[in-house]
């Protein structure tokens, strides 16, 4: 998915720009490609929309 994570088979150890390292022991690791993640370099799905579209007339009438 464009703007979504890069999936890597784990475990992984990543060296960041500042020289620090991030590690994950998971068997599949989602790495953030959009830099919106609060848990960067790991993906927390921040690339997804956080708002829902307004309900349609049919959905509003069902309530």
pLDDT at residue 54 is higher than 70: no
Note the pLDDT of residue 11.
93
pLDDT tens digits along 7-43: 999 899 999 999 999 999 999 999 988 888 888 899 9
Instruction: Give CA–CA dist 46/51, Å, rounded.
Output: 12
Give the start-to-end residue ranges of the domains of the chain. Answer: 1-43
Q: 8 vs 28, 29, 45, 62, CA distance in Å?
A: 6, 5, 16, 43
Mean pLDDT, range 53-63, rounded to an integer: 60
The pTM assigned to this predicted structure is 0.64
The residue among 48 and 7 whose pLDDT is bigger is: 7
SS3 call for 60:
helix
Long-range Cβ contacts of 47-54 (<8 Å, 24+ apart): 47/3, 47/4, 47/5
């Amino acid at each position: 998915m464009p703007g979504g994570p890069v999936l890597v088979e784990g475990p992984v150890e990543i060296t960041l720009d500042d020289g620090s390292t991030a590690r994950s022991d998971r068997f599949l690791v989602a790495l953030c490609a959009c830099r919106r993640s609060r848990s960067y370099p790991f993906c927390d799905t921040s690339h997804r929309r956080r708002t829902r579209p307004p309900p349609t007339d049919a959905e509003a009438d069902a309530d």
